[in-house]
Amino acid sequence: AQSVTQLDSQVPVFEEAPVELRCNYSSSVSVYLFWYVQYPNQGLQLLLKYLSGSTLVKGINGFEAEFNKSQTSFHLRKPSVHISDTAEYFCAVSELLQGAQKLVFGQGTRLTINP
Amino acid sequence: KAGVTQTPRYLIKTRGQQVTLSCSPISGHRSVSWYQQTPGQGLQFLFEYFSETQRNKGNFPGRFSGRQFSNSRSEMNVSTLELGDSALYLCASGSSGSYNEQFFGPGTRLTVL
């Protein structure tokens, strides 16, 4: 079974500073990788996804992530954060079983932006 | 296009009761997945339905069940509620194919007293 490890449970940063949220996955086969964001009292919103092709993936709200197969990592980055980026971020890998897809999530990283 | 809707948004039940949650997927989507989110266990996959058939099931006791109707709407049922069932239950809908992007609803917050 696949697993996802988010290395930081909480990341505090100052507004306009860069941020990196780290994610490692375990898989010996081709993977689909995702980052989701969850704002308070809301569901999950897809930030970006890696299915194949270019290892640098750009998403919404200025976020990007780099797929590194040798390091089995998929770290999320933003060059300059805003107060509105305060949320919980989840890294996920897609696992295919009997033709059905399920998402395996990391434990989440709470990003707090301080003014 | 309307998004994924879940009803009710909030629910309070007592131990031993049963509960039914509903999810309406995005129009045209035939896959509905359910996830449980708790502070301790994080996000865990419950089950996935496609064209009224359960294709995949997570590691949850038999008290957790679900079904999907011909219009792709799905319900999940939890019987004999326990305190540990308190969680946010998220529904996600997707199209067909080996990869289908999943769109999440706002969730149903279940509190078991």
Chain centroid to CA B89: how far?
6
Higher pLDDT, B98 or B88: B88
Query: How far is the C-alpha of A68 from the C-alpha of A54, rounded, in Å?
Result: 11
Question: Is the pLDDT reported for residue A29 higher than 80?
Answer: no
The stretch A88-109 carries a mean pLDDT of 88
Tell me the pLDDT tens digit for each residue of B19-44. 999 999 999 899 999 999 999 899 99
Grade residue A100 by pLDDT with cuts at 50, 70 and 90: confident
At B101, the pLDDT band (50, 70, 90 cuts) reads confident
A54 touches chain B (CB under 8 A): no
Q: Model confidence over B47-69: pLDDT tens digits?
A: 999 999 998 899 999 999 999 99
Q: Is the peptide bond before B8 cis (omega within 30 degrees of 0)?
A: yes
- CB of A43 within 8 Å of a chain B CB? The answer is yes
Q: Which of A44, A47, A51 to mutate to test the interface with B (most CBs of B within 10 A)?
A: A44
> Per-residue pLDDT for B77 more than 70?
yes
Asked if B99 lies within 8 A of A108 by C-beta distance, the reply is no
